[in-house]
Structures are given as structure tokens and as C-alpha cells.
Structure 1
Amino acid sequence: MAKRIGMLGGTFDPVHIGHLRSALEVAENYALDQLLLIPNAQPPHRNAPQVSAQQRLEMVQLAVAGVDLLSVDDRELRRDKPSWSIDTLLSLRAELDAQDQLLLILGWDAFCGLPSWHRWEELLEHCHILVLQRPDADIEAPQVLRDLVAAKSVNDPQTLLGPSGQIAFVWQTPLAISATQIRHLLATQRCVRYLVPDTVFQYIYTHQLYQE
């Protein structure tokens, strides 16, 4: 039987409950066999993370410990070049059976920025794209993406066919939390408990991360 594998990339600087709740909801609601959280090494579309790759990796590992459906994949941290999603997809594809479904999970903002991604037109050759929508999303997709959605989207993510090639949209629990907000709170000596898992909270304070 074909497997369903999700991948959620990000800087995770730091990982927080917004990332984790979205990942768990997708994994449970759409019967994924595994959802991989993949920390970026050198994110090509944003500033360099504030803490080391190893520290970000360790925080994500702590965050998903004991959650069977979620796991951490460090392949982008082991590559000595920018974290292009197309390279990660090709690497994962090489490890899967031909009929396994690979789902690239993107927030709405990231999806709207796809045309700026390296070799973005090739992504659907190797995966399906699952777009996380929130009621407060206020960015409009460019015309090239609206055309792609019209041609490639399905109404129900459960009906994605084959290993790749389609787009589906899902609603997520609206948790208005951002890593930027968390870093600001820490830089101003304010508490971030309940915004990150307790294990990540302890790690941040033990290692004195994000403190100016």
C-alpha cells in the first residue's frame, strides 16, 4: 500500500506550538504515515537564523519527542548549500516507492511566494502541495498561481491521486503565534511559556538563546 509522507520545512527559529499544532492536525486529519519537520540550514528567502543550526535542530527534536506521527529530518542541515525545496523533494523521492505520496505543506504566505522559489515549476512533478489556510490571511496569490490552482487543485485532500501533481487547501486552527514575536519577547526579557513546548522553553532558557 502506498504511503503518505508529509514534509514541513522552516527555520524553526524557534519551533513553537503554531508549527506543531498545524503539523499534528495535518498528520491526523489526512492519515499521514509520517510528517517530517525539516529545519532549513540556509533559508534562501529570509535572513539567517539567530541561533545555530544544531540548536534549532535540537529544539525541534525535543518538541516532537514522543509524538509518533511527527519526526525530524536533518538532511538540509547536512547539505553545504542553500535549502532549496526542490533538492529536498528529489532526495526524499529517491528513498520512497514510486507510488508513495509526498505532501509539501506550506502556509498561505509561503504558497503565495512560490514563483520566487528555485525551480518552483518542477515541485508538482515530485509532490502534492497542501496549503494551510487561516481566516486572517490577507495576501493575494499572483495570477500565475491562480492559474495553477485552477488547473491542479482538488476540493478534498483525501482525494489526492497518485504520488504527485495536485494542490489542496486545508483550514488550520488559527493560532496567531510567530517566531518573530517569540524572539522579540525573549530579547525584551519577557516570558514565552505556553508559546513553545515546555522542553523547548527549558532549552531556550538553559542556553540563554535570543537574549540581547
Structure 2
Amino acid sequence: MSLKFQRIGMLGGTFDPIHLGHLRSAVELHEALSLDQLHMIPAQQPPLRDQPQVSARQRLALLKAGIGDTPGLLADDRELLRDGPSYSTDTLAELRAEYGENTRLVMVIGFDAFLRLTQWHQPARIFEFAHLVVIARPGYGDPLPAPLMELVEHRVVDSVEELMQRSCGGFLSLELPSLMAISATYIRKRLKAGKSVRYLVPPPVEQAIARYGLYQQCE
């Protein structure tokens, strides 16, 4: 009988604010990868984008409100406890130390973030700690940039089962069933204009945004 190792996922982002697209993707990732836990980790200061308009603590509170009691999803504040930029390799190193060497650790990113992966801090080190799963963009057929291809081509696997044979080092492109084209930028613009975000964010998130007057001055 084969051993069953724990499966842990990491899904980072600004979550500025958390919306139903984020949360539906998280639920589907939890199912598709058969994860025991998916850590949703807000970034303190994303190195490759502008500082979010609301505080990290407010974004964490909205994330917790959005997750609620959803099984298998965890709002993780570890990057908010650090000073300076939020580097994924530091977070993965922490998770690996916590869960042990045999745990199947998976970092999940969206396709747009994946296209910028070679600009990240020490991107090759990601694979020392975890697998990388990219949420595929249906219909995208352009070849990947050469530096990105060099980084991942020898790590590609074709299935979740193959990915989980090892604790780290693999690369999988994964299509999720629900394609929810919801943008945090769009939500912020609607909030600034005083328009409804009903059915774009969970009701507790909508209520918290209204209660604290968040995103009223955002660009």
C-alpha cells in the first residue's frame, strides 16, 4: 500500500479586494489537487506592482470574511508579519519547514503572473521547495518566452497524479472548470464611482467594504 502524504497549497496575491473569482478558483484548486489545506496569503508589498490602496490588515480582514467557514481554505497572514517585499521563496521555505520534507507542497499562480515569473526574486528556487501549478488561460496558444521555457520545460508533468509523486520540483498547467472574469481593478473602479459590487464579492466582504468606507479614494 502506498503512503499518503499531506498535500498543501499556497495561493498568494494582493486580494485587493478578495472577490468571487479568487474564491471560486481556490475551491476548485482544493478539489482538483486534492489538497488538505490551501493557504491564501495576502502580500504585504508585492515586488512587481504598486502598493495596494488599503492596508494589508484590511485586505486580510476582507479575505477572512470572504473565506468564512469554507472547508480547506485558510487566510494566512505570514507575509504581513515581515518587513519589505513579499518574496514567494521565503514563504515557501517557511511552509516547507513547517510541514516537513515529504509533504507535497504546491504554489499556484495565474497565467498572467506566470508570464512574469523570470522577473521574480530567485524564481528557480521555487522548485527547491514546491511544485508550481499555473492556472491555464484557455485559448492562449502563443509560445512562451525563451527564458520562461528554459525555467520550466524540464519540469513539466501531465497530470496531478504525476505531480504528486514527488514533494517538489514539478510544473503543471491546470485548467479550472469555472472561468470567472472578475477583476479587482474593475471592483475598485465601481466602488470609487459609488456603484454596486453585489455578486462580484461575497456578501460579508461587500458589507465590510461599506462599513469601513474602503476603496472610496482608489484610482
TM-score (ref. length: structure 1)? 0.96
In 1, Cα distance between the equivalents of 2:205 and 2:41? Answer: 17
Q: Is the 8 A contact 2:5 2:104 kept in 1?
A: yes
SS at match of 2:70: coil
TM-score (ref. length: structure 2)? 0.93
In 2, Cα distance between the equivalents of 1:65 and 1:158? Answer: 30
Equivalent of residue 128 in structure 1, options 110, 128, 131: 131
Residue pairs, 1:120-159, within 5 angstroms? 120-135=123-138, 137=140, 141-159=144-162
| Corresponding residue number in structure 1 for 2:89 | 86
In the comparison of the two structures, how many residue pairs are matched?
Answer: 212
The alpha-carbon distance between structure 1 residues 17 and 138, as it changes in their structure 2 partners (threshold 3 A), is farther
Equivalent of residue 69 in structure 2, options 66, 71, 77: 66
1:105 matched to 2:108? The reply is yes
- Greater mean alpha carbon deviation, residues 140-149 or residues 75-84: 140-149
Unaligned runs of 5+ in 2: none
The alpha-carbon distance between structure 1 residues 138 and 83, as it changes in their structure 2 partners (threshold 3 A), is farther
In 1, Cα distance between the equivalents of 2:161 and 2:123? Answer: 24
Q: Is the 8 A contact 2:18 2:63 kept in 1?
A: yes
The alpha-carbon distance between structure 1 residues 137 and 14, as it changes in their structure 2 partners (threshold 3 A), is farther
1:209 matched to 2:187? The reply is no
| Corresponding residue number in structure 1 for 2:43 | 40
Task: Give the C-alpha shift of residue 29 in structure 1.
Answer: 1.8
Task: Give the C-alpha shift of residue 121 in structure 1.
Answer: 1.4
SS at match of 2:99: coil
Task: Give the C-alpha shift of residue 201 in structure 1.
Answer: 0.5
| Corresponding residue number in structure 2 for 1:200 | 205
AA at the equivalent of 2:194: Q
In 2, Cα distance between the equivalents of 1:134 and 1:201? Answer: 28
Task: Give the C-alpha shift of residue 135 in structure 1.
Answer: 1.9
AA at the equivalent of 1:186: L
Q: Compute the RMSD of aligned alpha carbons.
A: 1.3
- Runs of at least 4 residues off by over 4 Å: 136-140
SS at match of 1:49: coil
In 2, Cα distance between the equivalents of 1:152 and 1:111? Answer: 15
In 1, Cα distance between the equivalents of 2:69 and 2:133? Answer: 25
1:178 matched to 2:183? The reply is yes
| Corresponding residue number in structure 1 for 2:9 | 6
- Greater mean alpha carbon deviation, residues 24-33 or residues 139-148: 139-148
Equivalent of residue 18 in structure 1, options 17, 21, 33: 21
